[in-house]
Structure 1
Amino acid sequence: MSVLNVKNVTHGFGSRAILENVSFRLLKGEHVALIGANGEGKSTFLNIITGSLVPDEGNVEWSNRVVVGYLDQHSVLKAGTTIRDNLRLAFDGLFEMEKEMLGMYDKMGEASESEVNKLMEEAAEIQNILDNSGFYMLDSKIEEVAQGLGLSDIGLDKLVNELSGGQRTKVLLTKLLLQNPTILILDEPTNYLDENHIEWLKRYLQDYENAFILVSHDIPFVNAVCNIIYHVENCELTRYVGNYDNFLQLYEQKKVQEKKAYDRQQKEIDKLEDFIARNKARVATTGMAKSRMKQLDKMDILERPKEKIKPIFNFKYSKSPSRFLIEAKDLVIGYDEPLTRPLNFKVEKGKKIAICGVNGLGKSTLLKTMLGIIPPISGKVEHGENIDYGYFEQEYIDNTNNTALDEMWKTYPSMTNHEVRSELAKCGLTTEHITSLMKVLSGGENAKVRLCKILHRELNLLVLDEPTNHLDVMAKDELCRALKEFKGTIVLVSHEPMFYEQFITDVWNVEDWTTKLV
């Protein structure tokens, strides 16, 4: 049974085509991954099927009585409310039903016998729905899911306006799962989750009885939870049965077949054109030449298979710094309250350090304190000599009307137009991306612009906070290679061991330092 049918949808932005005549179907119970390179149109497709964007052409049809739950990266929470307040909103429909049922009981005192019987039947029906929905155990259900996704560590009575972007995303995801919609639509849900909570969400989705559509570049996660792959590429949407590994095998076979078919046809075209050129002027063979021309005219010409633009990341090394770049002495980090016990550590030249651990324990805060962006609660941080650092921030909110070109010029005003475009192109960005506003670029495209700003400078220290969030598989692989080859020192926060274990020399776990219960 199909719960969603998308027929012949076409959409673009200005002269840039995003989707062309695509069709899609979602069957009951299917676990679908929507994959593709950054900027191919995954988020556009989600916006179209959820109704927040009207396609230029085509139809989107949901089956009746489908409840769609959508987690995107731009949802907001009302300031002044607690985490618990927002999670209880997931059950607004049930609270309304309870209110309706209590109103029926109030009416019974003044109703006739037949009216009472009718009200009793309706109240019993609502009571049955409330019982089956676990309405009288909501708080324990909230606690269970909140614990699974790490919100209990933050505290359910904390105000949402005091949360980081990652913590807000966790609240939205927890609320969505509590609603238990017929269809789940999840856009990059693992970006702000650490390993433990990714594992919890993985088990949850594996056991999920309803259908869901997932956008993710986390390949192990996709492999574990999805049984259908839809691949977005060159404005087309192609369906594959199986997980990501199955898709990759079939996709590679398809590309090889397309290349062989194209090469065969090109050889045939060359032969025909050569025959025509040699024989059209000769009276004896002009008939055969015309026959070949008709054959050529009728031929359905295949397009040359398009090669994906591969980003190239090469970090420039500046000069050798002192032996120790950063030294912490009795350092306590935090904002309003301490997040760690006093820390004593050194970042030595040439080390490549991964910082891991449960979210909410201060990984991002630690990086900012190490760089002097924010002050410590107590203790001090000392920097060595000759340090040139580049900092990639996890959360980047830009509400200006800057384009990618403007962003580079703002940082490097002496660069020419050609130089800026060339640097951005190396990072896998097209002309359309380069001239688009930063706030309308996809998360991956935005990240590539910010990486480009770091790549252009000569550095001996890279401080990176979740740089793989939003990056597609090709960009992740290239970033891994570049970090592996970088001659300088790296301090990296990441929730993806598969990404960093190839080049890292040391792993620091903030759970060993925290003052919180883990």
Structure 2
Amino acid sequence: MILMQGKGLSKSYGVDKIFENIDFVVKEGEKVGLVGHNGAGKTTLFKCLTGSESFDNGEVMISNKYKVGYLEQIPDYEENISLMDSVMEMYSDIFALRDELRKLEKKMGQDGVNLDKIMQNYSDLSQKYEEMGGYSCEATARRIIKGLGFTDNDYTRDINKFSGGEKTRVSLARLLVREPDLLLLDEPTNHLDIEALEWLEGFLKNYSGAVLLISHDRYFLDAIVTKVYELSNQKIRSFPGNYSRYLILKEEQDLAQNKAFEKQQQKIAQTEEYIRKYKAGIKSKQARGRQKHLERLERIEGIQNEQSINLNFKDIGSTGEIVLKVNEIEMGFAEKSLFDDISFEMRKGDKVALIGANGTGKTTILKIIMGKLNPLKGSIDYGSRVSIGYFDQEHKDLHEEKQVIQELCDAFNMGEKEARNKLATILFQGDDVFKLVRDLSGGEKGRLALLKIILQSPNLLIMDEPTNHLDIPSKEIIENILVDFPGSLLVISHDRYFLDKVTNKTFELEKGSLKEYLGSYSYFKEKKLQLSEQAQKQELNKEIITKKIVKDQKPKINKSKIKEEIKIIEEKITEVEAEIKALGEKLADPESYQNEEKSKELVNDYKEAEENLPVLMARWEELLEILEESI
């Protein structure tokens, strides 16, 4: 069944058309990815869908029975609100219902006259409370908060002291706990480490509702989506399957459309030539007929290729066999140890991924290698003839007050014409070269920083999140540059698709130590899973052996005595269940609830019986378990 449908949607800013006359459909339970280059209009479409902006034309249809949730901008939180309180705010309607139930429970023992009506109301509200997830909302919130990478200590922290990335994860948690019928997610993987990314993947794959998401994370899209919408050149196209399937189908469609376009253009040219040749001669009538046909012809559009970055490394010097050695380094801040005794070496041609959860110290290791931080212990040795290029995710090597063209001219002592030519390779053209660095987007700063590195011709690249803020086409270009890079590479990235394509070794930083895997990210995951399964088997075997030893050492159990107690408890359970039923019937009897004193006594007896039953059941289950273990 269709959950959301858009028809004839258009949006412009002045004379700039963002998209025109687009249609889309999202069905119940469907997982849909929205892709396209930066500036194609994906976020604008989302803003219109959520009501923060309006469409110029068209309509969006969604039934009132469906709830839609979207990843909110970071809100202004009240003073001294904790992480847990912020997330639990999303259950305010459930807590209001919980308060109402508590009030009704009090009334049961106070108002004998209206007891029947109160109990019916209580029953109806209890059912609604259960359907809304009232009994499990705290557990759900904790599971989601934990999955997004927060620790137990974070539950009570003041949310206003969180970083921007942490606040984004809080917003994601607030959205996910209410499980709306349709989730609208704009770049939900931003600020997530790989562990949290994989948790979110699993959550969304098993999510019963529908999902419409914008993401530049191709690995994430591959794992989740079952349909892809591509927004490009003001139009939208639909492709079944995940991201990898989309790439195949898109190439086939583009090829077929360009062939049809070329064929039609050839036919149009022939027709126009015929009209020009015969419009004033004896065949003028036929020429006019062809002119009318040409005017009515539905034109096929050719596929427009997007502008692309054109960068490559040239003339880098050769290094010795050993490029880099990290020797027993240790680092910590404010009495907190990040890592201890970290050692590794990189050889010529190694392309290494450094991965690990946020806060484990990955960027710190890169800064120690670059000499920007001094370790508490240990040393760094560089190989023979090594020249390093460093890509800092915060772009601290760029000068905020300079113009883009000045940044290049001053750094490499080049003229304006040469600087313009270099900047054109990373899509800075015309007046763009006179922008101040501080006014650039994250992606533009990344492109400029990468160009400066390439112009240095390094043979060892140290890179911290080089694909952050880049759209998918730009990421693919960076990947191809680094795949062809003839030197060595050490890179931090949460982009698993990028790591699989570029790297041939994986270093995992976990709990203060480093472990090396001789393969890409996918190899690392497979190997880690194998090691985890082996450890689980060993733990299981150990547990079985321990249980056997404990069982052998246990004193003999008096089975007949246990069976006798089980029989007594079963009889008692039957009695209590009968008592509850009888009391319920009495409470429903008008004679009972018309007598206020008698109704209070019945309610107290009913509550006592209800409280006794689970205690008896728990003891019964405990005795059965003891009996089973003794067999």
Separation in structure 2 between the aligned mates of residue 325 and residue 45 of structure 1, nearest angstrom: 48
In 2, distance between residues paired with 1:435 and 1:48? 33
Aligned residue in 2 for 1:331: 329
- Select the structure of larger CA radius of gyration: 2
* Cα 1:351/1:249, change in 2 over 3 Å: closer
CA contact (8 A) 1:39 1:441 kept: no
**Percent of counterpart pairs with the same letter?**
30
| TM-score normalised over the length of structure 1 | 0.81
- Are residues 55 and 334 of structure 1, via their aligned partners in 2, closer, same or farther at CA, if it must alter by over 3 Å? farther
Q: Which residue of 2 aligns with 1:21?
A: 21
Partner of 1:88: 88
Query: Is the Cα–Cα contact under 8 Å of residues 74 and 171 in structure 2 kept in the other structure?
Result: no
1:305 aligns with 2:310: no
| Equivalent-residue separation in structure 2 for 1:444 and 1:231 (angstroms) | 20
Cα drift, residue 49 of structure 1: 0.7
Shift of 1:14: 4.2
Aligned partner letter, 1:476: K
Q: Which has the higher contact order (CA 8 A, sep 6+)?
A: 1
Instruction: Check 1:505–1:226 CA distance in 2 against 1; reply closer, same or farther (3 A cut).
Output: closer
Instruction: Report the AA paired with residue 305 of structure 1.
Output: I
Give the match's secondary structure for 1:22. strand
Q: Which runs of 5+ in 2 are unaligned?
A: 515-531, 533-631
Structure 1 equivalent of residue 584 of structure 2: none
RMSD: 4.0
CA distance in 1, matches of 2:490, 2:222: 29
For residues 83 and 419 of structure 1, the distance between their equivalents in structure 2, rounded to whole angstroms, comes to 52
Number of equivalenced pairs: 508
Give, in angstroms, the shift of residue 433 of structure 1.
8.1
**8 Å CA contact 1:325, 1:387 repeated in 2:** no
Q: What SS class does the counterpart of residue 487 from structure 1 fall into?
A: coil
* Structure-2 change in CA distance of 1:123 and 1:415 (3 Å): farther
Determine if contact 1:433/1:445 at 8 Å carries over to the other structure. Answer: no
- Once residues 122 and 422 of structure 1 are traced to their aligned partners in structure 2, the CA distance between those partners, rounded to angstroms, is 76
**Residues 439/424 of structure 1: CA separation in 2 closer, same or farther (3 Å cut):** same
Residues 1:81 and 1:347: Cα distance change in structure 2 (over 3 Å): farther
- Which deviations, in whole Å up to 9, do the C-alpha atoms of 1:366-414 show, x marking residues without a partner? 32343344554x2255475874423230699x9x9x9xx9456456557
TM superposition shift of 1:158 = 4.7
Taking the aligned partners of 1:65 and 1:497, their CA distance within structure 2 comes to 38
Q: Which residue of 1 aligns with 2:354?
A: 355
Q: 1:162 to 1:245 in 2, by over 3 A?
A: same
SS of aligned partner of 1:361: coil
> Does the CA-based 8 Å contact 1:4-1:25 persist in structure 2?
yes
- CA shift, 1:483, in A, is 0.9
2:124 paired with 1:125: yes
Q: 1:288 to 1:498 in 2, by over 3 A?
A: closer
**CA 1:64 to 1:490, structure 2 compared with 1: closer, same or farther past 3 Å?**
same
Q: For residues 254-269 of structure 1, what are the structure 2 equivalents within 5 Å?
A: 254-269=253-268
- How far apart are residue 191 of structure 1 and its match? 4.1
User: Which secondary structure state, in structure 2, belongs to the residue aligned with residue 342 of structure 1?
Assistant: strand
Please give the per-residue CA displacement for 1:323-349, whole angstroms capped at 9, x wherever unaligned.
Answer: 877654543234432111232345566
| Structure-1 separation of matches of 2:451 and 2:15 | 25
Q: Calculate the TM-score normalised by the size of structure 2.
A: 0.68
Task: Please say if residues 194 and 359 of structure 1, whose CA atoms lie closer than 8 Å, have aligned partners that are also in contact.
Answer: yes
In the alignment, residue 102 of structure 1 is paired with which amino acid? Answer: R
Contact 2:219/2:496 (CA < 8 Å) preserved in 1? no
**1:228 alignment partner in structure 2:** 227
Matched residue of 2:177: which SS? helix
Q: Is the 8 A contact 1:151 1:171 kept in 2?
A: no
Q: Distance in 2 between matches of 1:315 and 1:153?
A: 46
Q: Which structure 1 segments of 5+ residues have no match?
A: none
Kept in 2: contact 1:38–1:472 (CA 8 A) = yes
Distance 1:61 1:293, change over 3 A: closer
Counterpart of 2:616? Answer: none
Does the 8 Å contact 1:392/1:451 carry over to 2?
A: no
Kept in 2: contact 1:390–1:459 (CA 8 A): no
Change (3 A) 1:440 1:297: farther
The residue number in structure 1 matching 2:99 is: 99
Higher helix share: 2
Distance change in 2, residues 1:457/1:82 (3 Å):
farther
Q: How does 1:116-515 map onto structure 2 within 5 Å?
A: 120-152=119-151, 155-160=154-159, 163-280=162-279, 283-315=281-313, 328-336=326-334, 337-346=336-345, 350-374=349-373, 376=375, 378-379=376-377, 382=380, 384=382, 387-393=387-393, 406-407=403-404, 409-410=406-407, 412=409, 422-427=421-426, 447-448=446-447, 450-511=449-510, 513-514=512-513
The 3 A distance-change label for structure 1 pair 155 and 372 is farther
User: How far, CA to CA, are the matches of 2:173 and 2:395 in structure 1?
Assistant: 20
